[in-house]
Structure 1
Amino acid sequence: MKKRFILLLMSIIFLSGCWDRRELNELAITMAIGIDEVDDKYVVSAQVVIPMEVSIQGSKGSTPVTLMKAEGKTIFEAIRKLALESPREIYRGHLRVLVISESVAEKGLNDILDFFARNWEMRSDYYILIAKDIKAEELLNVITPIENLPANNMYNKVAVSSEYWSSTRGVTLDDLVKDIKTEGKEAVVTGIEVIGNSQIGSSKQNTETITPPTTLRLTNLGIFKNDELVGWLTEKESVGYNKITNQVKSWVANLSCPKGGTISIKLDKSNAEIKGKVINGKPEVDVILHSQGSVMEVDCQIDLTKPKTISMLEKIYKEELKEVLETSITTLQEDFQADIFGFGQAIHREEPKEWEKLKKDWDQEFSELQVNLKIDTKILKTGTISNSLK
């Protein structure tokens, strides 16, 4: 018994305990970080939760967050200098969004990504957004309705839009680093903009009316070459990209009826496959897309009870999809020479030896690449009524 007791005491010596534990009331919980630039320095803005204002019992009716900012030659220096403004340690473990200004993104993201990827304190599942036509700091100043915390508003916007609309994509830190570093593939990042007056948006007044004077709205996808932002896709081009890369969960196609009017098709299932090949030294890519949809709205005279009508709609739907994909591919080939689809990656996967010959001049090869579209469409549901109520 005595020996067992001594062994127990000795084992206690090697127990580590919570040496790095920090109390909640010692931390400034940072939900969003913005990156701007001024005079060759980074400007880091931290959107920090005001604990009293997110507590039901203690709220005084003020804004739920405050914005702190600091400048530095590096991101790390700027974040450390936030201590000059914050009475608590800036804690980034609950970060939801990282917003980077358009001007910073155009100069390159490598230094920024290096810091955030290297930092053990933060998870990597937050979304990255590009502030379009506005400073990240000004965007983070906007107070939003529905979601009490603006960072949650932005995070949920990305999640919901990715689920129900197809012109955006939720890009996390891991996604962005992987796409930038992968041979034969360039990156995209969703943009976000301020609609209305950003100064009014920074006041509590912005959440106290039925129609807020200022809102945050997601835009389309920003195109990167290497780590630099080089341009923006339109909504249609963004949809085309998401379809080719299997990022689409839902979409609406408005088809023209033969005798005038419109019929709306909701995308139910979409599956795309990219196959690369090299024929006589020339690269080619097959994009194989299977799409299933349902009729959601009919604004024309059409008989949906007839199989030939469904076959006709499937052909129209196929042509619509083909046009969306071709528009996206043509824009990337002719205007940007940026392979955001990963066509080069597909060739690398299928023809690794040939890829070694092609990769040095892949931008040029991509601009001339033959892309074969093979599209299969099915319309399986027409709703609970057969024809239009007209």
Structure 2
Amino acid sequence: MKRKCTMLILLIVILLITTGCWNRRELNELAITMALGIDLTKDGKYVVTAQVVNPGEVAGKSSGATGSSPVIIFQETGKTIFEAIRKMTNSSPRSIYPSHLRMLVIGESLAKEGIGKPLDLLSRDWELRSDFFIVVAKGRNAEDILKIPTSLEKIPANKLFDALEVSEKAWAASSGYTLDELIKDMISDGKQPVLTGVRAELKGDKTSLAKQNVEMIDPHGRLYYQDLAVFDGEHLIGWLDEKQSRTYNAITNKVKSTVVNVKCPKGGNFVYQIIKSHAEVKGKIKNGEPKIDIKIRAEGNVGEIECNVELTKSESIAKLEKMIEKQSDAMFTKAVQQIQENKKVDIFGFGEVLHRADPKAWKTLKNDWDQKFEDLPVNIKVQAEIKRVGTVGNSFLEKIK
């Protein structure tokens, strides 16, 4: 009898843990959302724009495609973001499903008012992964960005995601920031967050943003990344220019590869193609005064040259390396000083470096760190190394001359 009771209990337990997906949802009941845009109206309400996949068009012609748009826009307004998303069911026949989100675009007006509330919803939503990129629509609303059809990639959200990955690997003036990275910087004592800006270039009237935009060799609507947005906590306070953005990425070790134009002494330029970069940031506090020392090591190749130099000689290579170091030192130093004077917030994480170097002294500094950051001495030293000069030695242009 005791054995039968034991077996019955085991069977009940097994049945309880093998009941299947009680809360399952079929794919044809979901609106797969690839991008979300969030804007703020003048009366303080949120406008949420969802870029949803049109599965019949993405699947291909063999699956019944009709030539319609591969994505559909749904948009609603609400006092809260959650309310606006739920109100989309008024027009969408399927539930908005953001688990495959690639891009979150924040309108510039909302970024200035504060991005804390939108991030709170996204950070606690169990349906969201945190690996999507967050960008700020520079000079526009987020909905303007999401409504532009793109070439090469059928789904505009994929275009934005892939373009940002390519840009940060090849140019170093932009970077992809995820939800976790952004929140970490927002709550840090010694670092303020930045986000990459996305811009829309429009030519002609808005009718050009219909289907024919992707059928033209020179589309009337283009999306491209430009500059970094600087935040003080949750509020957008300004933008970095291109040189300042590249300086930020170099100091924070976000440079994977880029190119640098270096002026030759007797006119012309040569291009230094960076293939590896690493910044070592050290800080110290002496008599209550902080100081930062930065050493940036770069390795690269000669990508293009107009200088009258003998590339087959080691002394010529050494001269080119010195030219790179001198110009880079000056550019980085100037960019950091401009950020200190104009933005007045520590986006580099110098405060975190000082905290690690001297936790006790940091407790005193952190209370008025923004003021200390403005006058913080920052010494930058670049060490450049040329690995290769290409498949030829001196330029054939010298022989032509």
TM over 0.5: yes
Alignment correspondent of 2:21? 18
Which amino acid in structure 1 is aligned with residue 14 of structure 2?
I
Q: Which residue of the partner structure matches residue 168 of structure 2?
A: 162
Task: Give RMSD over aligned pairs.
Answer: 1.5
1:115 aligned residue = 121
Aligned residue for 1:186? 192
Which runs of no fewer than 5 residues in structure 2 stay unpaired? none
Q: Which residue of 2 aligns with 1:322?
A: 329
Task: Give the letter aligned to residue 40 of structure 1.
Answer: G
Query: What is the aligned partner in structure 2 of residue 380 from structure 1?
Result: 387
Matched residue SS, 2:85: helix
Residue 287 of structure 2 is aligned to residue 280 of structure 1: yes
Task: Give the corresponding residue for 2:153.
Answer: 147
Is 1:294 aligned with 2:294? no
**Which residue does 1:91 correspond to in 2?**
97
Describe the SS at the equivalent of 1:14: helix
In the alignment, what sits opposite 1:269? 276
- Structure 1 residues 248-298: Cα deviation after superposition (integer angstroms, max 9, x where no partner): 001111112232221111001111111111011101111111111110112
- List gaps (5 residues or longer) in structure 1: none
Q: Is the 8 A contact 1:302 1:388 kept in 2?
A: no
Letter in 1 for 2:108: E
**Counterpart amino acid of 1:55?**
A
More displaced 10-residue stretch of structure 1: 46-55 or 90-99: 46-55
Query: SS state of the match for residue 99, structure 1?
Result: strand
Cα contact 1:143–1:201 (8 A) shared by 2: no
**Structure 1: distance between partners of 2:214 and 2:223:** 12
1:55 to 49, 55, 59: 59
SS at match of 2:396: coil
The question of 1:359 aligning with 2:366 is answered yes
Contact 2:102 2:133 in 1 (8 A): yes
Q: The residue matched to 1:104 in structure 2 has which SS?
A: helix
The aligned counterpart of 1:76 is 82
Counterpart-to-counterpart distance in 2, 1:43 and 1:11? 47
Q: Find out whether 1:206 has 2:213 as its counterpart.
A: yes
User: Closer, same or farther in 2 for the Cα pair 1:254/1:140, shift >3 Å?
Assistant: same
Aligned partners of 1:300 and 1:372: how far apart in 2? 30
SS at 1:123 equivalent: coil
CA contact (8 A) 1:269 1:291 kept: yes
TM-score (norm 2): 0.94
- C-alpha displacement at 1:21, in angstroms? 1.2
TM-score, normalising length from structure 1? 0.97
Equivalent in the alignment of 1:46? 50
Cα deviation, residue 306, structure 1: 1.1
Q: Note the C-alpha offset of 1:368.
A: 0.2
Shift of 1:7: 6.5
The CA distance in 2 between the partners of 1:316 and 1:281, in whole Å, is 36
**In the alignment, what sits opposite 1:100?**
106
Aligned position for 1:129: 135
Letter of the structure 1 residue corresponding to residue 56 of structure 2: M
Question: In the TM superposition, what is the alpha-carbon distance from 1:247 to its structure 2 partner?
Answer: 0.3
> 1:300 & 1:184 partners in 2: Cα distance?
43
How many Å separate the matches in 1 of 2:159 and 2:364?
A: 46
1:105 to partner: Cα distance: 0.1
Structure 1 residue 11: deviation in Å?
3.8
The residue that corresponds to 1:32 in the other structure is: 35
Task: Pick one of 338, 360, 376 that aligns with 1:331.
Answer: 338
